[in-house]
Amino acid sequence: MLVLSRKSIYPVVLIKNLAILRLKKGISPYYISTLLTSKIGRDQINRCSTGNVQQWLNLEAISNLKIPSISFSKAIESVVKEAHKLIETSNNTYTTAEQLLLFNIGLLGNKEIPLHDGKTNIKSFKESFFKTGRLDAEYYQKKYEQIINHIVSKKHDTLINLVKITKSIEPGSDNYSEDEGLPFYRVADYNKFGLSEPDKKLTDSFVNDNKEQIKKLKPKTGTILFSKDGSVGTAYLLRKDLPGVTSGAILHLKVKDEKEIVPEYLTLALNSKLVQMQAERDAGGSIILHWRKEEIEKVVVPIIDFKKQQQIASFVEESFHLKAESEILLEVAKKAVEMAIEEGEGEAMEYLKANK
């Protein structure tokens, strides 16, 4: 993976598995990063890498990567910089949506909700185990009570009343394929900002044997993916049908009444500290986090004025729109670099002008 730093200095120390490329004066880092992430760059990197289970590059191999010179590298730099501006604006817009949510439920800058552990929280057996079935002390930390009490002091509802929850499948590693088959999305293949290309696929034989079940389980537009294992509580709203299926670690949430709660708003609320703290409380204490479906159903969700939900949703959608525009520009830059090397700079420059 390659990351282009846009700051002169980062206050970090890199582990030995990362290398820093410091370019000579006059060479555009934006062009170099675009080339290395293009098909031509990736092919070079894959050819030079070694190792079976985990591939790696040594410093000599990195220094020997071929960097073709093109005359319009500054034009590539301009497109990449524009893409970076769009993603920065996207992030700021998403932050605005998050702050609006907290403001509307009275948590933005509210000093009455410190959300810290404070002193020991004493519970009787009746108040603890008989009520929740939990005896671990971490579950009863004051910060969890504070956040729940704040949510339930205003209009709210439990998740099971707001959405229909569907469980997916866990086919087992014997049915995984590295090459061809149906895309199989796991928790590591998405976050709250989007999906990545899954590493695993399901074999054709497994798909054929479970054709009807898989057809029903393919998530449609408007479905919220919600993780219950590993990185618990990560929500992502599908804006188009998913071309595959998800693992059993990902629940599918479908809003029952979109006139009561906007899917984009609910997704943002699920990713906020309001729900993340509930996930932390319920799933904490394990090496591999597991959030039980029965606990997820009881998650408390704040319900704000519908028009304010729509306002928040508009910021979320604008953020994703800007992110998509940024990704398109980066793909245009990569395609132009590939064309310049394979077909000639004239054709590549025309393509860049037509698509930037």
pLDDT at 140: 47
Which pLDDT belongs to residue 124? 41
d(CA 150, CA 295): 19
Question: What residues does CATH 3.90.220.20 cover in the chain?
Answer: 156-302
Whether the per-residue pLDDT at 65 is higher than 90: the answer is no
* pLDDT interval class at 349 (50, 70, 90): very high
Res 316: pLDDT: 97
* Token pair belonging to 308: 């304010």
Nearest alpha carbon to residue 38 among 8, 5, 76: 76
Winning range, highest mean pLDDT, from 30-44, 174-188, 249-263: 249-263
pLDDT, position 64: 74
Q: Model's pTM, two decimal places?
A: 0.83
Per-residue pLDDT at 177 exceeds 60: yes
CB 89 within 8 A of CB 318: no
Q: Residues 163-177: what's their mean pLDDT?
A: 91
Is residue 13's pLDDT more than 70?
A: no
Give the pair of three-digit tokens for residue 283. Answer: 């799933």
pLDDT at 52 over 70: no
CATH topology of domain 156-302: Adenine-n6-DNA-methyltransferase TaqI; Chain A, domain 2 (3.90.220)
CA angle 25, 26, 31 (to 5 degrees): 115
Q: What is the rounded (10 degree) CA torsion for 66, 72, 76, 81?
A: 120
Q: Please give the Cα distance from 234 to 267 (Å, whole number).
A: 9
The token duo for 254 is: 């479908």
Contact criterion met (CB below 8 Å) for 165 and 253:
yes
Asked if residue 126 has pLDDT above 60, the reply is no
Split at pLDDT 50, 70, 90, the class of 130 is very low
Q: Which of 31-40, 112-121, 122-131 has the highest mean pLDDT?
A: 31-40
38 vs 144, which has greater pLDDT?
38
Q: Residues 6 or more apart from 137 whose CB is under 8 A from it?
A: none
Residue-level pLDDT at 47: 81
Mean pLDDT of the chain: 85
pLDDT (tens digit, 9 = 90+) per residue, 297-340? 999 999 999 999 999 999 999 999 999 999 999 999 999 999 99
Residues whose CB falls within 8 Å of the CB of residue 160, separated by 6 or more in sequence, listed in order: 297, 298
